[in-house]
Structure 1
Amino acid sequence: MSAKFEIFLSKNNEFYFRLKAGNGQIILGSEGYTAKANCQNGIKSVKTHSQDSKYFEKKVTSNDKFSFNLKASNGQVIGTSQTYTSEQSRDAGIVSVVNNAPDATVVDLTVEA
């Protein structure tokens, strides 16, 4: 299975995307978008910005967990990782986004079959 972005509609009627690695694990998630077109633009932004390390913001939570944000060139967060128990795991998550995002297919789960 190859990496993919999934677009979905939440209960609050906002569109979100998540990037899943080839093993099905979610490695990056978005904030909510009121329009699907904006969500699709967010995916394009991830594909572009994930290829430059300066757009990754490594974070440490108050309870010593680790995460990261992927930011656009304007500083806006376009994707957030899960929480990791170690720096090494977080850094591996970043590598996974770098490796998977550019060629990931987009699956729109809001379209009825």
Structure 2
Amino acid sequence: MAGKYVLKTSGDQFMFNLHAGNGQIVLTSERYASRAGALGSIASVQSNAGQGARYEPSADGLRFDLRAANGQAIGHSEAYSSADAARSGMDAVKRAAEGATTDDQT
């Protein structure tokens, strides 16, 4: 089952969650002032998620950020129970990001 970006508002800002094929949220975006900014970030996730070097684990290894080529954070993971589980989360983002549809709930 393919992944899905769920684009929504958060107050007066825009953000998205990337859902894996099983419905679990595997990545949460930054907040953006415009819908266009959030859509651009979705495109950035699609182009960067397949590159292992773009994932930055937290100091404890239980979370990670996905970063664009310019180093800017474009998404954050949830907290995992172990570093191995976090690495599995990175793999889930890679699988879900490519070819995922966008559910625009704005």
Is this a same-fold pair by TM over 0.5?
A: yes
1:92 aligns to what SS in structure 2? helix
2:82 alignment counterpart: 86
Residue 18 in structure 1 maps to residue 25 in structure 2: no
CA offset digits 1:23-79 (Å, max 9, x no partner): 111000011100000100000000000111111001134xxx600000011110000
Runs of 4+ in 1 over 2 A off after TM superposition: none
Higher relative contact order (CA 8 A, sep 6+): 2
1:47 aligns to what SS in structure 2? helix
Q: Aligned residue pairs: how many?
A: 106
1:55 alignment counterpart: 54
Letter in 2 for 1:29: T
Identity across matched positions, percent:
37
2:95 aligns to what SS in structure 1? helix
- State the TM-score, normalizing by the size of structure 1: 0.89
CA distance in 1, matches of 2:26, 2:96: 9
Listed as ranges, the matches of 1:41-80 within 5 Å are 41-61=40-60, 66-80=62-76
Q: Structure 1: which 5+ residue stretches go unaligned?
A: none
CA distance in 1, matches of 2:90, 2:44: 16
1:17 aligns to what SS in structure 2? strand
- State the TM-score, normalizing by the size of structure 2: 0.95
Shift of 1:85: 1.0
Larger gyration radius, structure 1 or structure 2: 1
Letter in 1 for 2:100: A
Q: Structure 2: which 5+ residue stretches go unaligned?
A: none
2:21 aligns to what SS in structure 1? coil
1:19 aligns to what SS in structure 2? strand
